[in-house]
Amino acid sequence: MNGEKKLVFDNYAASFLGTLQNFDKVQITGNSDLSLDKSLGNTVTSLSVNAGSTLRFNRDQDATLDITNNGTIRTSHNLTLKSADTGTGTYQVEGGTLDLAGQAVSGKISLSAGALSNTAGLGAGSVSVSGITGNVNLGGLDGSKLSSINMGSGTGIISGLTGHADLSGSDTQLRLSAANMGADGTGIIQFNDADNASLTLGNLTLTLTADAVALLAAPGTTLSTSPTPPCTRIPTTLR
């Protein structure tokens, strides 16, 4: 068969177990909720997700992809962009690494677990941390590109920030546990270079888990916003 081969999933709400290796383009439309359980393959040159549709990557994508996301892309595995994404949709990172390859993304990125890398092309306020289910590594993200942190009912460590993050325009919700309090020299929010970084918060809701309360109640334990070496946390400005 000669010519372009395009596969369209329209109002498709299920897992797709087949291979897409022989198609050039893939489009998800019509309020679909599609889960891909295999790699798209090296022949797929472009992928588009229309507004109202959701695409879930359930395994690593071996190839870099040209993506236009106007809906929602949920990924818990490794995914690498090949070019700028001009869509206005959202990437929900739930695990693995979203490698942006320095490309611009016009929409938003939300992380509950996993990592980002090569974030230089992102715009101001384009990244948020929400509903955390594990540790999040922001991959050297400049603080100006972080819009909000709402950990929800999960606990974890947020690392990989650089520069100055001003979250005073949003409500920040942090959940403190024994695991992320800093007993081993780490902290709940970590900057790559604490000496050249700052964090400014507006409204803050701080939730303590039972094990955090027990640790704080132990003799000789104090809660401080100021780090001690080699901790990479910094003093926070609370308004």
Contact 129, 167 (CB under 8 A): no
pLDDT score of 183 = 56
Digit-coded pLDDT (tens) for 131-177 = 999 999 999 999 999 999 999 998 899 999 999 999 999 999 999 98
Does the pTM surpass 0.75? The reply is yes
Side-chain-side CA neighbours of residue 125 (13 Å): 5
pLDDT score of 238 = 33
Is 116 a residue whose pLDDT tops 60? yes
3-state helix, strand, coil in the chain (%, to 5): 5, 45, 50
d(CA 22, CA 232): 48
Query: What DSSP character marks residue 183?
Result: T
Q: What is the mean pLDDT of residues 205-213?
A: 90
Side-chain-side CA neighbours of residue 148 (13 Å): 16
pLDDT > 90 in the chain, percent: 65
Is 227 a residue whose pLDDT tops 70? no
CA-based max dimension of the chain: 75
Digit-coded pLDDT (tens) for 35-94 = 988 888 777 889 999 999 999 999 898 778 899 999 999 999 999 999 999 999 999 999
Q: How far apart are the first and last CA of the chain?
A: 64
Q: What is the mean pLDDT of residues 182-196?
A: 78
| Torsions phi, psi for 194 (to 5 deg) | -65, -25
The residues pairing with 236 across neighbouring beta strands, listed in sequence order, are 199
pLDDT score of 222 = 57
Amino acid at 227: P
d(CA 14, CA 23): 20
pLDDT score of 182 = 67
Is 228 a residue whose pLDDT tops 80? no
pLDDT score of 112 = 98
d(CA 163, CA 195): 9
d(CA 39, CA 32): 19
Digit-coded pLDDT (tens) for 213-222 = 888 887 766 5
Among 175, 162, 174, 232, smallest CA distance to 203 is for 174
Contact 75, 93 (CB under 8 A): yes
pLDDT score of 1 = 55
Distance of CA 225 to the CA centre of its chain: 25
